[in-house]
Amino acid sequence: MNMNINKKPIALVTGASSGIGRDMARYLNSLGYNLIITARDEDKLKKLKQELEEKKLEKKELSEKSEVKTNGKANIDIIVADLAKEEECISLYKQVKEKYKNIDILINNAGFGLFGSFLETDLETELDMINVNVKAVHILAKLFMQDMVKANRGTILNVASVAGFMPGPLMATYYCTKNYVFRLSEALREELKKKKSDVKISVLCPGPVDTNFNKVAKVKFNLKEASSEYVAKYAIDKLLKHKFLIIPGFSVKMARFFSKITPDNILAKVCYHMQEKKR
């Protein structure tokens, strides 16, 4: 059944229960997008839905009192999924396709990190990380992109990181996952261009952002953190302008520049030194 009844564009945001994903959902909602929000924590997703619906109501009441009218109620759909599990990634795709047929924006944002020496970090946690940060992004990008290319419309935003530009001793697995996301996005962009498809892809590479990430990864950033509201708005604004590589903040742009001109062995040494300070 196609639920695209109110003709508003639809965005699917993974990892929408917290941090950058939640703020991207808030911002897209303010732009009038219908939303499909997904993560494991159903309570947090319900809270976000309630918050956005209350905002809509306030706007509607205001618009009824003024000359300016809001154009219908945006739909917010919750799908609870553990993206570390392949079958839940596939099921998420199937549920969305069944309900909406095509979506306008896919945001592959869910992800997490883990700090520590490769010799000591927990294997199960790392395999889950590879599943969420790499495998889920891969599955969802492929399945949704196939539909988007058929319809010749749609946009994908993959959330990588400044970590995607370099090796990351003491956070080795996380950096590798983000290198994968960055390079996959670059490759897909070229394939779409060669196909002359109108489907677009972008990749977001933030530096440190103030979210739940640190707590989950067991790190303390020693650099100034950007707010997730700023990063989310910056990313969506650039995405809607079809900018491919989205790097919020001057210092992160500089990090990208240095990663390109510095030999890999030196980069690894610098990274090790910076990560050490996060203990």
Ligand X SMILES: NC(=O)c1ccc[n+]([C@@H]2O[C@H](COP(=O)([O-])OP(=O)(O)OC[C@H]3O[C@@H](n4cnc5c(N)ncnc54)[C@H](OP(=O)(O)O)[C@@H]3O)[C@@H](O)[C@H]2O)c1
- The footprint of ligand X (CB under 6 A) covers 15, 17-21, 39-41, 44, 81-84, 109-112, 132, 159, 161, 206, 208-209, 211-213, 216, 228
Minimum Å gap between C-beta 58 and ligand X is 25
> Which residues lie across from 35 on neighbouring strands?
11, 76
Q: For ligand X, which is the closer residue by CB, 168 or 169?
A: 168
Rg (alpha carbons) of the chain, rounded to whole number: 19
Q: For ligand X, which is the closer residue by CB, 157 or 199?
A: 157
Q: For ligand X, which is the closer residue by CB, 94 or 193?
A: 94
- Residue nearest to ligand X according to CB distances in the complex: 19
Q: Read off the amino acid at residue 245.
A: L
Minimum Å gap between C-beta 248 and ligand X is 10
Task: Please state, in angstroms and rounded to a whole number, the distance separating the CA atoms of residues 212 and 225.
Answer: 12
Minimum Å gap between C-beta 153 and ligand X is 25
Kindly give the residue spans of alpha helices, DSSP state H, lying in 7-85: 19-30, 42-65
Q: For ligand X, which is the closer residue by CB, 109 or 275?
A: 109
Task: Please state, in angstroms and rounded to a whole number, the distance separating the CA atoms of residues 202 and 197.
Answer: 14
Task: Please state, in angstroms and rounded to a whole number, the distance separating the CA atoms of residues 93 and 201.
Answer: 18
Tokens of 152: 């010749």
Asked if residues 209 and 160 have their Cβ atoms less than 8 Å apart, the reply is no
Minimum Å gap between C-beta 215 and ligand X is 7
- Mention every residue, 6+ apart, whose C-beta is less than 8 A from residue 107: 11, 12, 13, 14, 21, 24, 156, 157, 159
Q: For ligand X, which is the closer residue by CB, 8 or 168?
A: 168
Q: For ligand X, which is the closer residue by CB, 160 or 267?
A: 160
Minimum Å gap between C-beta 274 and ligand X is 13
> Which residues lie across from 10 on neighbouring strands?
34
Q: Read off the amino acid at residue 126.
A: E
How many C-alpha atoms does 62 have within 13 Å on its Cβ side? 9
Minimum Å gap between C-beta 44 and ligand X is 6
Minimum Å gap between C-beta 22 and ligand X is 7
Q: For ligand X, which is the closer residue by CB, 42 or 276?
A: 42
Q: Is 83 exposed, middle or buried (0-12, 13-18, 19+ CB in 10 A)?
A: buried
